[in-house]
Structure 1
């Protein structure tokens, strides 16, 4: 990527419609059945889990570009899937400014997350996520809450579907001590974090409250690396998000994240702290 193609995208947080994803899913399902494959038979041919394929065909998951390319080849789809994919937009539960990032997440080989507001979405329980969306201002309708919760939980399959991706999370201690949803919800949330971060490829660190100053005071940020070893960043504000590709900005964010890692508790000390917090609830 050259400097002339560098851009920063900021758009509104209006949710995208899901009809186009359902259309892609239906087209893919038709070509898969035409080829005579069950989802289980088809999965190893494209390199994705049967559950992921089912989610794509149901219109609940955005198809990664590499998936579309493999599907075209395996199913001999005459370019139809690529054409339908051009018009695909994110499901209701994911904001439009998150679309580019969510697609890259599906392919990332490294994903770093610094969060000082709430538990990162990939690690939230259903009860914790539902609390966040139920208390949102302006308020969501019941159907909007369900769509948001569903989309958030669907994204969490990344942790299981990508065992070779390195996931790093650093979270402020006060996020884990705040009784979001009440003591029972937070106890379940901390138990979930302890379980979800057991795999070797998932690292979780806490920034202790005892550290008076640290490198993440400017706000939350995420960094990811693609299979082509390109790095991108994403940051979120009150009513918008930024998808960042500018190399010098990403370099600065890398330096801050590296400093955060050295300032936070080690993963081992973090687990001990989480167990103490859980025990006190």
Structure 2
């Protein structure tokens, strides 16, 4: 099949094409970034980041730009293509890993699995293998995940709060002893001065983060970003308004959770209830 002929001369990479279109449309209007921000009603610095491919923005922002430029649906379609590009997930995750390593404070809600920073090697191995990894790649991913835990153990560690849905603690590993080791590790980490572990009982009912694993990262400069992940995708949220909305949902989840002391007691009861030998 002959290669596709490029007609417009514009970028064929979805994210770059989206940013390029934003720059061209603004230039045609003759607006500065500050003028654009004033006319559209959003922080002008966000538009600069979007035009430099540092962020894709939110659909609300893109729809506002479509309306302002008189291009109904065009920018939103380009945004959707950029978001769907599989290479973007890897880029966002790499950026997240850098921010996690530099964070001075982290807080997370885990709806279904033990947070990576609190996993034991056996837990990580079973979880990652269930996701389809095997062989050398599986071993490398487990090793990388264990390396992330070291941040919580260093001399000047970040503060970390993890809220675990009770469902996390009701979903054991196949091997009973490995599951007991994971519960013991959670109990031990919850006693560290820089780590708070809380349990959200199922009896608490519905809340605003039912199936979204969220990790908030605060850097030394005070800026907070969020990594929001489902079973199939993840997104790095950096826009202030969206971060604040997720923070409000997290705060409400924290209000429903057991206190740190009662959460430790909950985990210790789980240890007492866990069988000592594999079931036959």
Shorter-chain TM-score tier: 0.5 to 0.7
Query: Given the alignment, which residue of 86, 92, 99 partners 1:12?
Result: 86
Write out per-residue CA displacement over residues 231-266 of structure 1, whole angstroms, 9 at most, x where no aligned residue. 111111333321111111000011111111111000
Write out per-residue CA displacement over residues 58-77 of structure 1, whole angstroms, 9 at most, x where no aligned residue. xxxxxxxxxxxxxxxxxxxx
Stretches of structure 2 lacking an aligned partner (at least 5 in a row):
1-42, 58-82, 275-280
Cα 1:101/1:160, change in 2 over 3 Å: same
- 1:176/1:186 contact within 8 Å kept: no
- 1:168/1:204 contact within 8 Å kept: yes
Partner of 2:254: 261
CA drift of 1:106 comes to 1.3
CA drift of 1:96 comes to 4.5
Cα 1:13/1:161, change in 2 over 3 Å: farther
Structure that is richer in helix per residue: 2
CA drift of 1:179 comes to 1.6
Partner of 1:245: 238
Secondary structure, counterpart of 1:156 in structure 2: helix
Secondary structure, counterpart of 2:202 in structure 1: coil
Stretches of structure 1 lacking an aligned partner (at least 5 in a row):
16-94
Matched, 1:133 2:128: yes
CA drift of 1:161 comes to 2.1
Partner of 1:113: 108
Once residues 167 and 211 of structure 2 are traced to their aligned partners in structure 1, the CA distance between those partners, rounded to angstroms, is: 16
Cα 1:13/1:151, change in 2 over 3 Å: farther
Cα 1:215/1:238, change in 2 over 3 Å: closer
Higher CA-based Rg: 2
Matched, 1:275 2:274: no
- 1:8/1:246 contact within 8 Å kept: no
Once residues 208 and 94 of structure 2 are traced to their aligned partners in structure 1, the CA distance between those partners, rounded to angstroms, is: 28
CA drift of 1:227 comes to 0.3
- 1:13/1:239 contact within 8 Å kept: no
Once residues 107 and 167 of structure 2 are traced to their aligned partners in structure 1, the CA distance between those partners, rounded to angstroms, is: 20
- 1:12/1:239 contact within 8 Å kept: no
- 2:111/2:211 contact within 8 Å kept: no
Matched, 1:177 2:143: no
Q: Output the TM-score relative to the length of structure 2.
A: 0.66
Greater RCO between the two (CA within 8 Å, min separation 6)?
1
- 2:104/2:158 contact within 8 Å kept: yes
Q: Output the TM-score relative to the length of structure 1.
A: 0.66
